[in-house]
């Protein structure tokens, strides 16, 4: 198996959540983030959307700049900043290119990029009637589910974000293994 995308000195661990729409990926990630932060980890998230979205407000300055043809518009305040980049017909950048835009983190959680070469947890609800992804994805390391399954991977309770967080933290390494609080660059086996 090839080396995972994005792992290394810039990001300690890039870890994904894969599953069908409605399986609970966003909710689970939302519950895991504060637990990782409480464990002393700097956390970032990349969310891939399959539909067109725009969070800019029509008529506002930044929207007007983009409509005028600007490729990038950076909005900044004393609370946050956001960089909007218009593809203008260019292909969507892959996960590696997206990670290059991110500040260094101990953990980057990925929602979407279902087929990316990154370690991931499959989020599966049998009630949705969808097939499991793990048979076709060697990067899936565990399955978070709300029902018993007969699979060759570790099962995590979808309703136990502490257990999911512990699974991820076991791959990041302990703070003692991270001199100076910097990402170790090598996920634990």
Each residue's pLDDT tens digit, 127-173:
999 999 999 999 999 999 999 999 999 999 999 999 999 999 998 76
When pLDDT is cut at 50, 70 and 90, the band that residue 119 belongs to is: very high
Q: Which fold has domain 11-51+93-170?
A: Rossmann fold (3.40.50)
**30-36: long-range contacts, CB 8 A cutoff, minimum separation 24:** 31/161, 31/164, 32/109, 32/161, 32/164, 32/165, 32/168, 33/109, 35/161, 35/162, 35/165, 36/106, 36/107, 36/165, 36/168, 36/169
Predicted structure pTM score? 0.81
| Mean predicted confidence (pLDDT) in 173-181 | 38
């Amino acid at each position: 198996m090839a080396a995972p995308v994005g792992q290394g000195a810039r990001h300690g661990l890039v870890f994904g959540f894969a599953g069908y729409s409605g399986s609970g990926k966003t909710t689970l990630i939302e519950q895991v983030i504060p637990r990782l932060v409480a464990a002393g980890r700097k956390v970032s998230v990349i969310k891939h959307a399959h539909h067109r979205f725009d969070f800019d407000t029509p008529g506002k300055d930044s929207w007007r700049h983009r409509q005028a043809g600007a490729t990038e518009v950076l909005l900044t305040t004393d609370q946050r900043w956001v960089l909007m980049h218009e593809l203008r017909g260019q292909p969507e950048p892959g996960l590696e290119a997206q990670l290059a835009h991110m500040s260094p983190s101990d953990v980057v959680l990925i929602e979407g990029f279902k087929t990316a070469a990154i370690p991931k947890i499959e989020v599966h609800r049998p009630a949705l009637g969808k097939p499991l992804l793990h048979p076709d994805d060697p990067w899936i390391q565990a399955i978070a589910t709300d029902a018993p399954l007969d699979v060759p991977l570790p099962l995590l309770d979808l309703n136990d974000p502490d257990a999911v967080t512990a699974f991820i933290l076991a791959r990041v390494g302990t703070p003692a293994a991270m001199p100076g609080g910097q990402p170790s660059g090598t996920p634990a086996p």
